[in-house]
């Protein structure tokens, strides 16, 4: 290569040798990259379901956890189970700015900083449609599912920008399809996904990555709780759902909290260093299309729309085949 050409390429070469792209400066080994050793994560909704599974997986991968939830007994049980040197529980209603800040300030003080924020707390929200909309229910649903994601991220930025960090937000398949959840919940979850993309753009300058996970049908107590069941009854319902909901997705089983927790842990890790602004479906294929697409014994929606029964369709196929011979 001539020296003139080398001079032309010099700016590109120096870019390729920037801090983030230099392989020599990356931690060694795939396993190390997916670990969370030495990192501190704040997880909201940590006392149950996806949040609880995430505490378990993140701790196993080496992280310290600031666990935030409104369930004090279940939250305190986390400290007992993992030890308060690994998990600190804070009563934190994510719709309250003072409680979010308290958890962030005291938690990051206890562990010496913050690297990961997993905005996950939620509930089914108001079940009302547009025509009968309960406006107070709307305000509370939006405060819990969407405003809290904005607020927690805003409050966490001063901590995360010290060394760069990862924000992960729990959205939902209801952000992309109708029919899975009430309209207010679904619109809030669409907002969470879009927030993740736009915040990723804004916060890239601070080396903060932001991504959204879109879970499908996950066996947790959210369904029972939405129907007003007690905690115990809601947990029992989640087990019943786990046993019976397999046929709703190509994967042949319903999702578990750990399915989402492993995706969150990956997005939190250095292995995901090039991933930001993403929306990740973790739904066992639930949104690939109508059930007939993966289970031919299920009704074919095209034939249904045409008013043709499977028997009539078969007879037509046979008649066509006979006319060809």
Ligand X SMILES: NC(=O)c1ccc[n+]([C@@H]2O[C@H](COP(=O)([O-])OP(=O)(O)OC[C@H]3O[C@@H](n4cnc5c(N)ncnc54)[C@H](O)[C@@H]3O)[C@@H](O)[C@H]2O)c1
Nearest approach, Cβ of residue 290 and ligand X (Å): 20
The footprint of ligand X on this chain (CB under 6 A) covers a number of residues equal to: 28
Q: Say whether 185 is catalytic.
A: yes
- Residue 51 vs 182, nearer CB to ligand X: 51
- Residue 225 vs 269, nearer CB to ligand X: 225
Outline where the chain has alpha helix (H): 3-16, 30-34, 49-60, 72-82, 97-111, 135-142, 148-160, 183-203, 222-226, 231-244, 257-268, 301-306, 310-324
Instruction: State how far the Cα of 286 lies from the Cα of 298, in Å rounded to an integer.
Output: 14
- Residue 172 vs 269, nearer CB to ligand X: 172
Nearest approach, Cβ of residue 271 and ligand X (Å): 23
- Residue 270 vs 279, nearer CB to ligand X: 279
Q: Considering the rule CB under 6 A, would residue 94 count as an interface residue with ligand X?
A: yes
- Out of 59, 116, 218, 286, name the contact with ligand X by CB under 6 A: 218
Nearest approach, Cβ of residue 211 and ligand X (Å): 15
Q: 262 to each of 60, 176, 203, how far by Cα in Å?
A: 11, 22, 24
Q: Considering the rule CB under 6 A, would residue 51 count as an interface residue with ligand X?
A: yes
Instruction: State how far the Cα of 64 lies from the Cα of 58, in Å rounded to an integer.
Output: 8
Q: Give the per-residue contact string, 132-171, with ligand X (x = CB under 6 A; - = no).
A: ------------x-------------------------x-
Of 100, 63, 61, 59, residue with least CA distance to 81: 59
Of 155, 149, 258, residue with least CA distance to 210: 149
**Which sequence positions are flagged as catalytic?**
185
């Amino acid at each position: 290569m001539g020296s003139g050409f080398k001079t032309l390429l010099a700016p590109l070469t120096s870019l390729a040798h920037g801090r983030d792209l230099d392989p020599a400066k990356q931690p060694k080994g795939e396993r190390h990259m997916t670990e969370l050793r030495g990192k501190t994560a704040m997880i909201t909704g940590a006392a149950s379901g996806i949040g609880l599974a995430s505490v378990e997986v993140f701790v196993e991968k080496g992280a310290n956890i600031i666990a935030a939830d409104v369930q004090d007994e279940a939250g305190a049980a986390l400290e007992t189970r993992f030890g308060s040197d690994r998990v600190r529980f804070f009563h934190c209603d994510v719709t309250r700015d003072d409680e979010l800040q308290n958890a962030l300030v005291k938690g990051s003080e206890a562990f010496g900083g913050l690297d990961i924020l997993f905005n996950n707390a939620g509930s089914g929200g108001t079940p009302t449609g547009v025509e009968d909309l309960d406006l107070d229910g709307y305000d509370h649903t939006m405060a819990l599912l969407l405003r809290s994601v904005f607020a927690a991220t805003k409050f966490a930025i001063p901590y995360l920008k010290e060394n760069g960090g990862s924000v992960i937000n729990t959205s939902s398949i209801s952000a992309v399809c109708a029919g899975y959840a009430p309209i207010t919940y679904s619109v809030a979850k669409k907002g969470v996904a879009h927030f993740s993309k736009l915040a990723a753009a804004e916060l890239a300058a601070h080396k903060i990555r932001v991504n959204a996970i879109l879970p499908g049908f996950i066996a947790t107590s959210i369904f029972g709780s939405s129907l007003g069941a007690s905690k115990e009854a809601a947990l029992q319902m989640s087990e019943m759902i786990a046993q019976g909901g397999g046929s709703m997705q190509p994967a042949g089983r319903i999702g578990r909290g750990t399915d989402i927790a492993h995706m969150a842990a990956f997005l939190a890790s250095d292995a995901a260093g090039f991933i930001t602004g993403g929306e990740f479906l973790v739904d066992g294929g639930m949104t690939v299309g109508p059930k007939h697409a993966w289970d031919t014994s299920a009704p074919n929606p095209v034939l249904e729309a045409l008013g043709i029964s499977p028997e009539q369709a078969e007879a037509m196929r046979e008649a066509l085949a006979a006319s060809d011979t």
